[in-house]
Structure 1
Amino acid sequence: MATPSPDGEFDWTAAEAQVGDVVDLGTARRRRQPDDWTADVDDERDELGDEPILVDPPDSDSRVSWAEAAAGRRPIVPAWLRSKSEALALARWIVGHYTHVSAYHLLRAPLYAGRLVVRAPRGAVRAVAGTARWASDAEGRPVRLAAVRREDADEYLKLSRQRDARVRLRALILTFGFSVGAIGGALLVLSTTQEIRYAVLAVLIGLLGVAGSPADKPLMDVAAVKPRVRKLTADVLTRAFLAAGLCKPDDLISFPAPIMRDGPGWRAVIDLPFSVKADTAIKKRNDLAAGLDLDEVQVWPERVRGAAGSARRLALWVADEDPYAKPSGLWPLILKGVVDVFEPFPFGEDQRGRIVALQLMFTSLLIGAIPRMGKTFAARLPALACALDPIVELHIYDGKGGQDWRAFERIAHRVGFGVRDEVVLGLVEDLRALVVDMNRRYDTIATLPADICPESKVTRGIAERRSLKLWPVLVSIDEFQRYSGHPLYGDEIVSLLTELCKVGPSVGFMISLATQKPDGKAVPTDLRDNIGTRFALKTMTWQSSEAVLGAGSYTAGHDSSRLQRAHKGVGILLGADDSGAVEEAVTVRTSRTPLADIDAVITRAHALRQARGTLTGRAAGDALALPGPAASLLDDVLTVVPASEPKIWSETLAARLGELRPETYAGWKPEQVAAALKPFGIPVGRQVWGSDPVTGEKANRKGVHREDIAAAVAERNQRRRAA
Structure 2
Amino acid sequence: MAIEIHPEDIPDAEVIDVEEVSRREQMMNAAKARAQQAGAALGEQRVRVFARISAWYATADVTDEDLAREIERKRRSQTKHGEVELGARVKGLKLQLRHADPEMSGALAFELAGAEAQLQALKETDADNYKISGRDLGRARWSKKAGRLALSLGGAYGYVNGVAVEPLLALASLGAAPFAWWYLSRPAETQQPKAGVAPFIPGQAVPVEGVGADGTPVPAPVWTPPGQFVPDTLSSLGRVSLVKPESARVQGEGDLVTALVKAGIISEAQRDQTHLAGVIQPSGPGWTATIELPRGMPASNAIGKLEELASAMRIKRSRIEIRPDNSADGHDGRLVLWVADQDNPYGSGKTDSELIAAERWDFWKDGIPLGPDARNNRHTLDLIWSSIMIGGLMGYGKSYLARLIAAAAALDPTVRIIVITGKTGPDWAPLKSVAHQWIAGASPDVIRKVLRVMDTTITEMQDRGTELDRLYEVSPEKVPEGKVTPELAADGMGPVLLVVDELQELLDGAALVQVAIDEEMTPEGGRPKTKNARDILVDSFARYVRVTRFVLGMGVFITQRPSSDSVPTKLRDVCAKRGSFRVKGQNSAKMVLGDDPVNQGAAPHLLGEDSKGVVVLELGDEAGHITIKADVIDLPAFKDICLRGRDLRLAAGTLTGDALEYGKVDQAAAATATLLADCIAALDANSVDRARTETLLGFLAAYKPSAYGELTGPQLQARLREAGAGGTRKLGACEGLANPNGYTRDQLTEAGK
Which TM-score band (shorter chain)? 0.5 to 0.7
User: Structure 1 pair 604/92, CA: closer, same or farther in 2 (3 Å)?
Assistant: farther
2:480 to 439, 454, 467: 454
Residue 267 (structure 1) aligned with residue 288 (structure 2): yes
Task: Please report how far the alpha carbon of residue 453 of structure 1 lies from its aligned counterpart in structure 2 after TM superposition.
Answer: 0.5
Matched position secondary structure for 2:358: coil
Counterpart residue number, 2:683: none
Task: Please report how far the alpha carbon of residue 503 of structure 1 lies from its aligned counterpart in structure 2 after TM superposition.
Answer: 1.4
Residue 609 (structure 1) aligned with residue 644 (structure 2): no
How many angstroms apart in 1 are the aligned matches of 2:284 and 2:309? 21
User: Structure 1 pair 497/102, CA: closer, same or farther in 2 (3 Å)?
Assistant: closer
Deviations 1:267-299 (A, max 9, x none): 222222324322222222222222221111111
The letter for the 2-side match of 1:242 is V
Task: Please report how far the alpha carbon of residue 100 of structure 1 lies from its aligned counterpart in structure 2 after TM superposition.
Answer: 7.5
Higher deviation after alignment, 560-569 or 224-233? 224-233
Counterpart residue number, 2:594: 550
The letter for the 2-side match of 1:513 is F
Counterpart residue number, 1:309: 330
1:167-186 matched pairs, under 5 angstroms = none
Check the 8 A contact 2:276/2:290 in 1, yes or no: yes
How many angstroms apart in 1 are the aligned matches of 2:322 and 2:294? 16
Deviations 1:328-381 (A, max 9, x none): 422122112543332432122222121122111111111111211212112212
Counterpart residue number, 2:346: 324
The letter for the 2-side match of 1:282 is I
1:94-493 matched pairs, under 5 angstroms = 94-97=73-76, 226-228=240-242, 233-247=252-266, 248=268, 250-321=271-342, 322-336=344-358, 338-343=360-365, 344-448=367-471, 449-466=475-492, 470-485=493-508, 486=510, 487-488=512-513, 489-493=533-537
Matched position secondary structure for 1:269: strand
Deviations 1:150-182 (A, max 9, x none): xxxxxxxxxxxxxxxxxxxxxxxxxxxxxxxxx
How many angstroms apart in 1 are the aligned matches of 2:273 and 2:482? 53
The letter for the 2-side match of 1:284 is K
Task: Please report how far the alpha carbon of residue 89 of structure 1 lies from its aligned counterpart in structure 2 after TM superposition.
Answer: 12
Deviations 1:81-140 (A, max 9, x none): xxxxxxx99997542335679999xxxxxxxxxxxxxxxxxxxxxxxxxxxxxxxxxxxx
Task: Please report how far the alpha carbon of residue 528 of structure 1 lies from its aligned counterpart in structure 2 after TM superposition.
Answer: 2.0
Check the 8 A contact 1:236/1:292 in 2, yes or no: no
Task: Please report how far the alpha carbon of residue 412 of structure 1 lies from its aligned counterpart in structure 2 after TM superposition.
Answer: 0.9
The letter for the 2-side match of 1:404 is D
How many angstroms apart in 2 are the aligned matches of 1:617 and 1:605? 15
How many angstroms apart in 2 are the aligned matches of 1:458 and 1:92? 56
1:539 to 583, 589, 609: 583
How many angstroms apart in 2 are the aligned matches of 1:280 and 1:495? 37
Residue 597 (structure 1) aligned with residue 612 (structure 2): no
How many angstroms apart in 2 are the aligned matches of 1:456 and 1:329? 39
Deviations 1:389-428 (A, max 9, x none): 1100011122221111111111111112222444333322
Task: Please report how far the alpha carbon of residue 537 of structure 1 lies from its aligned counterpart in structure 2 after TM superposition.
Answer: 1.0
Residue 618 (structure 1) aligned with residue 658 (structure 2): yes
Q: How many residues matched? A: 412
Matched position secondary structure for 1:440: helix
Matched position secondary structure for 2:615: strand
Counterpart residue number, 2:549: 505
How many angstroms apart in 2 are the aligned matches of 1:368 and 1:89? 45
Task: Please report how far the alpha carbon of residue 307 of structure 1 lies from its aligned counterpart in structure 2 after TM superposition.
Answer: 3.0
Q: Provide TM-score, normalisation by structure 2.
A: 0.51
Q: Report which of the two has the higher share of helix.
A: 2
Counterpart residue number, 1:520: 564
The letter for the 1-side match of 2:76 is H
Matched position secondary structure for 1:403: coil
How many angstroms apart in 2 are the aligned matches of 1:618 and 1:413? 5
Identity of aligned residues (%): 29
How many angstroms apart in 2 are the aligned matches of 1:91 and 1:464? 56
Matched position secondary structure for 2:290: strand
User: Structure 1 pair 92/316, CA: closer, same or farther in 2 (3 Å)?
Assistant: farther
How many angstroms apart in 2 are the aligned matches of 1:382 and 1:437? 23
Task: Please report how far the alpha carbon of residue 591 of structure 1 lies from its aligned counterpart in structure 2 after TM superposition.
Answer: 1.2
The letter for the 1-side match of 2:566 is A
Matched position secondary structure for 2:76: helix
How many angstroms apart in 2 are the aligned matches of 1:559 and 1:453? 41
Deviations 1:605-655 (A, max 9, x none): 222222222111122226799xxxxxxxxxxxxxxxxxxxxxxxxxxxxxx
Root mean square deviation of aligned Cα: 3.0
Check the 8 A contact 1:413/1:619 in 2, yes or no: yes
Check the 8 A contact 2:285/2:374 in 1, yes or no: no
Counterpart residue number, 2:673: none
How many angstroms apart in 1 are the aligned matches of 2:485 and 2:70? 48
How many angstroms apart in 2 are the aligned matches of 1:554 and 1:329? 27
Check the 8 A contact 1:480/1:513 in 2, yes or no: yes
How many angstroms apart in 1 are the aligned matches of 2:409 and 2:476? 28
Higher deviation after alignment, 446-455 or 266-275? 266-275
Matched position secondary structure for 1:342: helix
Check the 8 A contact 1:419/1:482 in 2, yes or no: yes
User: Structure 1 pair 619/100, CA: closer, same or farther in 2 (3 Å)?
Assistant: closer
How many angstroms apart in 1 are the aligned matches of 2:586 and 2:537? 27
How many angstroms apart in 2 are the aligned matches of 1:612 and 1:403? 27
Task: Please report how far the alpha carbon of residue 585 of structure 1 lies from its aligned counterpart in structure 2 after TM superposition.
Answer: 1.8
Matched position secondary structure for 1:333: helix
Task: Please report how far the alpha carbon of residue 258 of structure 1 lies from its aligned counterpart in structure 2 after TM superposition.
Answer: 2.5
Task: Please report how far the alpha carbon of residue 597 of structure 1 lies from its aligned counterpart in structure 2 after TM superposition.
Answer: 1.7
The letter for the 2-side match of 1:259 is I
Counterpart residue number, 2:212: none
Check the 8 A contact 1:229/1:320 in 2, yes or no: no
How many angstroms apart in 1 are the aligned matches of 2:642 and 2:79? 41
Counterpart residue number, 1:108: none
Task: Please report how far the alpha carbon of residue 506 of structure 1 lies from its aligned counterpart in structure 2 after TM superposition.
Answer: 0.6
How many angstroms apart in 2 are the aligned matches of 1:100 and 1:617? 51
How many angstroms apart in 1 are the aligned matches of 2:634 and 2:311? 37
Check the 8 A contact 2:323/2:600 in 1, yes or no: no
1:561 to 579, 600, 605: 605
Structure 1: any 5+ residue segments left out of the alignment? 1-87, 105-223, 626-723
User: Structure 1 pair 494/311, CA: closer, same or farther in 2 (3 Å)?
Assistant: closer
User: Structure 1 pair 103/374, CA: closer, same or farther in 2 (3 Å)?
Assistant: closer
Task: Please report how far the alpha carbon of residue 233 of structure 1 lies from its aligned counterpart in structure 2 after TM superposition.
Answer: 4.3
Q: Provide TM-score, normalisation by structure 1.
A: 0.53
The letter for the 2-side match of 1:316 is L
Check the 8 A contact 1:246/1:272 in 2, yes or no: no
2:626 to 562, 583, 586: 586
The letter for the 2-side match of 1:476 is V
User: Structure 1 pair 424/623, CA: closer, same or farther in 2 (3 Å)?
Assistant: farther
User: Structure 1 pair 365/100, CA: closer, same or farther in 2 (3 Å)?
Assistant: closer
How many angstroms apart in 1 are the aligned matches of 2:82 and 2:652? 57
How many angstroms apart in 2 are the aligned matches of 1:446 and 1:238? 59
Matched position secondary structure for 1:407: helix
User: Structure 1 pair 522/262, CA: closer, same or farther in 2 (3 Å)?
Assistant: closer
How many angstroms apart in 1 are the aligned matches of 2:300 and 2:543? 35
